[in-house]
Structure 1
Amino acid sequence: MSRFTLPPENVLRAREDLVLDHFRDEVRQDWDATLSTFPHPCYELIPQMTVHDGDAEVREYYRTTRVAFPDQDHEIIALRHSTDAVIVEFWLLGTHKGPLGTIPATGGRHRTRMTAYFLFDDHDNLVTERIYFDQLTVLRQVLAGIGAPLPRRLFTLVRVLRGLLALSSGAGDARLRDTAPPDFVR
């Protein structure tokens, strides 16, 4: 199919239904149902240059993010179609109630605007969820949960900053870093 031609309406509707089911099942934390939307689950978190590839890695991603943000939810802003993707703009919401890796809970609540590309293969199977967002927006909001810099809170702030440095170290996943330009031959 040409990159200039959208699939037929019934294909776009089926993709959209699958993506909306995916969102609903994530909020319900029904991981089996969420994972069933992929033949092989794969999440790409662009701000962190991280890939969670396969059932075990994606389940661990779900577990760690829900430990950190057990009330995670979303508000869809817009949904768009392309030749090979459903693109969703949404607000992600949650309260930082548990550790996120080495970042301790701050109690801060965030509402962060994000975009997710749900990529489909030539057989209309969902193959990747690629997520874009501004990490500093999340950080600014969850740090507000620490409050005034009392000695105990200052210690938490230092631990948060160390955790963030640990998350941002490294070159990132080569699958996201080492890209080739597209061929725009007409």
Structure 2
Amino acid sequence: MSRFVLPSEDVLRAREKLVLDHFHDEVRQDWDATLATFPHPHYELISQMAVHDGNEEVREYYHDTRLAFPDQDHEIIAFRHGVDAVIVEFWLLGTHKGPLGKIPPTGSRHRTRMTAYFIFDEHENLVTERIYFDRLTIVKQLIGGVDKRSPRGLLKLGRILKGLLAMSGDAPDPRLLETTPPDFVR
């Protein structure tokens, strides 16, 4: 596959349908349908340097994120096609009603701009969803809703900071560190 030639329109339309179905099924929290878009589910969260690989790990990721943001939704901003990928820019939104890792719920809403690369193999199978976003943007919005003037709010802020510190020592997934530069043949 040449990196300079896009696949046919039929292939691009099929990829687009699969990615839009994937987004729709995630919002509906239909995990069986969402996972069916992959032969082997694989998520890479670049801001966290974390990988969720396989059915069990991805279901756990879905569970944890929907526990934290049960009303999670998205607004698509832009949709682009690449030689081996669909690139989607979107707003992710939700209300923090449950624990986010070790961060207690704040009740605050967030609206965070993200980019997801849906990577396809040579057989047109979705093999990776690679997501880029700024974690600080989410944290600022979650903390922003805490009343910092009340004793209860200050206590909550202390628990949030303690949770953030506890999560800051996670080692990056080595699969995201071992990269190979592209071969630019002239």
- TM-score, reference length from structure 2: 0.97
SS for the counterpart of 1:47 is coil
Unpaired runs of 5+ residues, structure 2, are none
1:136 maps to which residue? 136
Q: Tell me how far apart the structure 1 counterparts of residues 89 and 41 of structure 2 sit (CA, whole Å).
A: 20
Q: Tell me how far apart the structure 1 counterparts of residues 30 and 6 of structure 2 sit (CA, whole Å).
A: 31
Structure 1 residues 168-177 or 23-32, which shifts more? 168-177
Q: CA deviation at 1:162?
A: 1.9
Q: CA deviation at 1:153?
A: 1.5
Q: Tell me how far apart the structure 2 counterparts of residues 127 and 71 of structure 1 sit (CA, whole Å).
A: 27
Q: Tell me how far apart the structure 2 counterparts of residues 170 and 133 of structure 1 sit (CA, whole Å).
A: 18
Structure 1 residues 139-148 or 4-13, which shifts more? 139-148
Q: Which amino acid aligns with 2:115?
A: T
2:176 maps to which residue? 176
Q: Is the 8 A contact 2:147 2:154 kept in 1?
A: no
1:104 maps to which residue? 104
Q: Which amino acid aligns with 1:151?
A: P
SS for the counterpart of 1:86 is strand
Q: Tell me how far apart the structure 2 counterparts of residues 57 and 167 of structure 1 sit (CA, whole Å).
A: 18
Structure 1 residues 142-151 or 110-119, which shifts more? 142-151
Q: Is the 8 A contact 1:48 1:167 kept in 2?
A: no
Write the deviation string for residues 164-184 of structure 1: whole angstroms up to 9, x where unpaired: 222231330011122122211
2:44 maps to which residue? 44
Q: Is the 8 A contact 1:43 1:53 kept in 2?
A: yes
Q: Does 1:84 align with 2:92?
A: no
SS for the counterpart of 2:75 is strand
Superposed, which structure 2 residues align to 1:90-169 within 5 Å?
Answer: 90-169=90-169
Count of residue pairs the alignment pairs up:
186
- TM-score, reference length from structure 1: 0.97
2:73 maps to which residue? 73
Write the deviation string for residues 15-66 of structure 1: whole angstroms up to 9, x where unpaired: 0000000000000000000000000001000000000000000000000000
Unpaired runs of 5+ residues, structure 1, are none
SS for the counterpart of 1:48 is coil
Q: Does 1:24 align with 2:9?
A: no
Q: Tell me how far apart the structure 2 counterparts of residues 149 and 174 of structure 1 sit (CA, whole Å).
A: 42
Q: Which amino acid aligns with 2:13?
A: R
SS for the counterpart of 1:15 is helix
Q: 4+ runs of 1 displaced by more than 6 Å?
A: none
